[in-house]
Amino acid sequence: MKGLLKKDFLVLFRAYKLYMIVAVLLVVQTFLSGWGWQVIFPALICGMLPVSLYSLDERDKWNTYALTTTYTRRGLLSEKYLLGVIIMLVITAVSALAMSVYALRVSADIQVDAALCTYDVFGHNVVIPYAAARAIESLLHSVSMALIPTAVSLPFMFLFGAEKGRLIAPVVLGFSATLLVSFELSRIGGAEGFVDLGAALGLAGIAAALYAVSWLVSVLIVQKRDF
């Protein structure tokens, strides 16, 4: 597993420099404009990375080769899911960092709309500033958006191969975006100045569950597959 991760990070470093630069630029943009929607885009881009790397693997016949070494089918696919989680954590952490920097820079403005939001957490009332609630919501969305594309695409890749499997990518991106937009729209009817963190957490939870189910499905699919 370590060798597989090492290989994927080397490929990322060698073949995805431009990809990384775009992701970083998007994060930098967050520095300048605050939290909100923007944080979703680096997450979505990075969420497609495991699938992209899998396509490269198949093109280069790496899977076939790897299966002749010490790796198993299950190991190969599990590594892609693990990689997805690592990428999700990294991009979310980077976004959090960017937002913190932004928050420090414009702390004066934050004071201005320093409305407070109150949440009921296991019977305790937790009060946090509106701005912080928006930031947490953005990060939860980042988690969801990084996980969903991988969760939906990978089983198709394992089932149909990268060539046909990747046809689903636009559908997946559309699906994720629609999900998010409808989520944002649903906010319109809600109370002004309140961030529904419960809903964001719910979405992230659904994404995580989807991810786990996707892994289980892929394990079943990949055993039958010839490489």
Minimum Å gap between C-beta 156 and another protein is 20
Residue 74 touching another protein (CB under 8 A):
no
Question: How many residues sit in the footprint of another protein (CB under 8 A)?
Answer: 28
Q: What separation in angstroms does the CA of 77 have from each of 55, 57, 218?
A: 12, 11, 7
Where does this chain touch another protein (CB under 8 A) — which range of 103-111, 132-140, 194-202, 218-226?
218-226
Whole-angstrom Cα distance, residue 157 to residue 165? 4
Using CA atoms, how far apart are residues 186 and 201, in angstroms rounded to an integer?
A: 15
**Closest CB to another protein among residues 14, 124:** 14
Decide: helix, strand or coil at residue 196: coil
Interaction between residue 86 and another protein (CB under 8 A): no
Which of 35, 41, 54, 62 is close enough to bind another protein by CB under 8 A? Answer: 62
Under rule CB under 8 A, which residues in 21-60 are in contact with another protein?
Answer: 56-57, 59-60
Applying CB under 8 A, the residues found at the interface with another protein are 2-3, 6-7, 10-11, 14-15, 56-57, 59-71, 223-227
